[in-house]
A = this chain, B = another copy of it.
């Protein structure tokens, strides 16, 4: 049995997220079909983590097992030939059976693109959050630093009905970098950590927005972290601006 690792980029706009669903186009489902066409095997490729509907990836990592003898170097062209142009395989490699795409991940980097110009170019609407209103960007930059380090991120995690209340599952995560940067007309949030809870990056962005609007001070991020309560943080920012940039192993 071979273990195949894929690096994928996708435009999430027209997908109902990573996770396979019976009646909606998903990244996982579309990828499974492309693999089956090639190998004649029914496999469910596993991802480093889920991405939600509308969220993009520059380098998501997935893996699947196969009995087929197709040379690794032929997978890239063949899979891209079976996939829609909105999903592209960027790299294929064979990895040891011990490689687990989710459990072996040491860290992830996400980026959130906010477009600040008055009129959003039509070529960017699928790929940013258009927010043309006044914001104190310096305060947001300051606020972003307050999440660096090891914290319980319950206040920034979606209340997940599937998961229920499971005291054994920790919401402790370590963030190694967290910053906002101006890139021409865009204000871009980049965050790197050892793991992220559901909606965590979008909830952080929505909370930094409260700082930008002057509703809360940058230091109040600490109070929100300590509250361990989703309802004290800001709203979830739209999916269109979010990118899974990379996964480290």
Q: Is there a chain B Cβ closer than 8 Å to A88's Cβ?
A: yes
Contact across chains for B9 and A85 when beta carbons are under 8 A apart: no
CA distance A76 to B118 in the complex (A): 10
Q: Is there a chain B Cβ closer than 8 Å to A121's Cβ?
A: yes
- Chain A interface residue count, CB cutoff 8 Å, equals 20
Q: Is there a chain B Cβ closer than 8 Å to A181's Cβ?
A: no
Q: Is there a chain B Cβ closer than 8 Å to A87's Cβ?
A: yes
Q: How many copies does the complex hold?
A: 2
State which residues 67-103 of A face B: CB under 8 Å: 76, 80, 85-90
Contact across chains for A88 and B9 when beta carbons are under 8 A apart: no
Contact of A88 among B10, B85, B119 (CB under 8 A): B119
Contact across chains for A119 and B87 when beta carbons are under 8 A apart: no
Binds B, one of A36-44, A122-130, A144-152, A167-175: A122-130
Q: Is there a chain B Cβ closer than 8 Å to A202's Cβ?
A: no
Q: List B contacts of A10 (CB < 8 A).
A: 122
Looking at A56, A122, A125, which has the most chain B CB atoms within 10 Å of its CB? A122
Q: Which residues of A pack against B, CB within 8 Å? A: 9-11, 56, 76, 80, 85-90, 119-123, 125, 127, 130
Given contacts A11-B123, A88-B121, 19 further A-B contacts (CB under 8 A): A9-B122, A9-B123, A10-B122, A11-B122, A11-B125, A56-B122, A56-B123, A76-B119, A80-B119, A85-B120, A85-B125, A85-B130, A86-B125, A87-B122, A88-B119, A88-B120, A88-B122, A89-B119, A123-B127
